[in-house]
Amino acid sequence: MKIISRFCGILLCILILFSLSFPVLADDAPSFSVDAKAALLLDLNSGRVLYSQNADERLYPASLTKIMTCMLALENSFLDETVTVSSEALEGLGEDSSSAGLLAGEELSMRELLYCVMISSANEACNVVAEAVSGSVSSFVDLMNQRAAELGCTGTHFVNPHGLHDENHYTTARDLSIITQAALKNEVFVTICTAAEHTVPATNLSGPRELYTTNYLISNHTTGIYYYPKAKGIKTGFTTPAGRCLVTMASGNGLNLLSIVMGAATVQQADGSWLMKSFPEAKALLEYGFSHYREYTLVSPLNPLGKLPVRLSSNSESVVYAPASTVSAILPTDYDELLLRTVINLESPEGIDAPVRKDQVLGTVEVYYDHELIGRSDLLAISEVERSAAEQVIHQTNTFFHSSLWKWILFILIFLLIIIAVIYLLRIYRVREARRRRADKYKRDQVRQKLREELDDQ
């Protein structure tokens, strides 16, 4: 028996050590990750974050900086104003700096400069824009940081308008999503940042320029291996310290998604070619969103949510209410219905008095998913309810007799009746008292008369 016990103990230890040599999959282990330093996926319709990876880590944005530069130019200049390129704007950028080949003394419109900024990622064009908007690059950088703070960015600090490397020039994926959403509200920004190519008209110092986007998701002009038909814009970025960066958006399956990838690698493949991983990682992130999320209609004006009692009605004892607008939300395709909760808040839950107007606001409906408020709408009456004249009279009578005013009137009436009764009783008392005094006086007079007669007889 001792031998068997020892054998079982040894076997158990072997099994435990053997099991430790294999990885354990946790129930909450992520099923998806992005091969980059940071990533964020956001639903543009609701602003809801669908995927986040190191979204608040401060990283170098490289040319993603130009999203802010372009937005500020659109907010603080005129597109058709003519801008002259200064020699100072062309200095200090380095030989390998991305450029549109602008020349000192060249004259372009602000519109064409912004195409140079966003399509060909021209660094010198950013300096020209900065000088045109703020008078100097340093003043424009101050404006960039001021605007970032106004938008609520907490992990961002700009040093230049183009994104060339500086230790103190950084942002986060979350802050970039805030800046990009603000920029996308401008239709001209959307037009510029989604263009795959553009021709800059001839200027005083140059012939026409053909610009081609650096975002290979939206163009196969240079290489078709990254092309992604669903993608639209927005901006690429690269420096050695920053790695491959990309902000892009895509639409499909009823979703409008914004993808941000920062710090992706450039990998040499077996055939000697280089793979810029920001593009496939952004595509994978967008496809993750399209395959794992859907827009669901949670409440609709077409589907009433209940009915409310109506008093004093001539034609109905209740009115049906429905949402004023559709409440939709982006939810996982396998979302738990038990976590979905609809809360109805009626202004008068016990009922209301007729008349009721069609589309009269009766309350609100709120939709929660896992304790998160994901939508709200007013509740409207879907029909009219008329008031009954007879019921109105009865109601007014009952209301009057149950009101404080009626109680005061009744109190005053009783008080007056008491006073009248007291006055009446006093008058009766006084009359009786007068009669009694007259009778006593008459008796006394009779007695006196009789005494006089007796005295006269003597």
pLDDT at 415: 86
Distances (CA, A) of 378 to 295, 296, 327, 341, 365: 21, 19, 10, 16, 6
Say if residue 21's pLDDT is above 50.
Answer: no
298 and 340 in contact (C-beta within 8 Å)?
Answer: yes
pLDDT at 453: 74
CATH code of 361's domain: 2.60.410.10
pLDDT at 397: 62
One domain, residues 343 and 268: no
One domain, residues 317 and 268: no
Instruction: Name the percent of the chain lying above pLDDT 70.
Output: 89
One domain, residues 275 and 350: no
* Cα 395 from Cα 63, distance rounded (Å): 73
Say if residue 26's pLDDT is above 60.
Answer: no
Q: Is residue 18 part of a domain?
A: no
> Which position has the higher pLDDT, 212 or 387?
212
- Domain limits for position 262: 38-293
Q: What are phi and psi of 399, to 5 degrees?
A: -65, -40
pLDDT at 119: 97
CA–centroid distance for 268 within its chain: 43
pLDDT at 268: 94
One domain, residues 289 and 307: no
Q: Tell me the one-letter amino acid at 172.
A: T
One domain, residues 284 and 343: no
> Which position has the higher pLDDT, 196 or 28?
196
Whole-model pTM: value is 0.76
User: Which residues, at least 6 apart from 386, have a Cβ–Cβ distance to it below 8 Å?
Assistant: 313, 314, 315, 354, 355
One domain, residues 62 and 169: yes
pLDDT at 402: 66
pLDDT at 28: 35
Q: Tens digit of pLDDT for each residue in 53-64?
A: 999 999 999 999
- The lowest-confidence range among 148-152, 294-298, 361-365, 406-410 is 406-410
Section 104-116 average pLDDT: 98
Q: Tens digit of pLDDT for each residue in 254-304?
A: 899 999 999 999 999 999 999 999 999 999 999 999 999 999 999 999 999
Q: Tens digit of pLDDT for each residue in 328-350?
A: 999 999 999 999 999 999 999 99
One domain, residues 176 and 71: yes
* Cα 450 from Cα 4, distance rounded (Å): 153
How confident is the prediction for the chain on average, in pLDDT?
89
State the DSSP code for 85.
P
Q: Is residue 289 part of a domain?
A: yes
CATH code of 107's domain: 3.40.710.10
321 and 308 in contact (C-beta within 8 Å)?
Answer: yes
> Which position has the higher pLDDT, 403 or 46?
46
Domain count, the chain: 2
Strands 82-84 and 107-109: antiparallel
User: Residue 150: pLDDT band by 50, 70, 90 thresholds?
Assistant: very high
Say if residue 403's pLDDT is above 80.
Answer: no
Q: Is residue 414 part of a domain?
A: no
pLDDT at 254: 83
Say if residue 22's pLDDT is above 80.
Answer: no
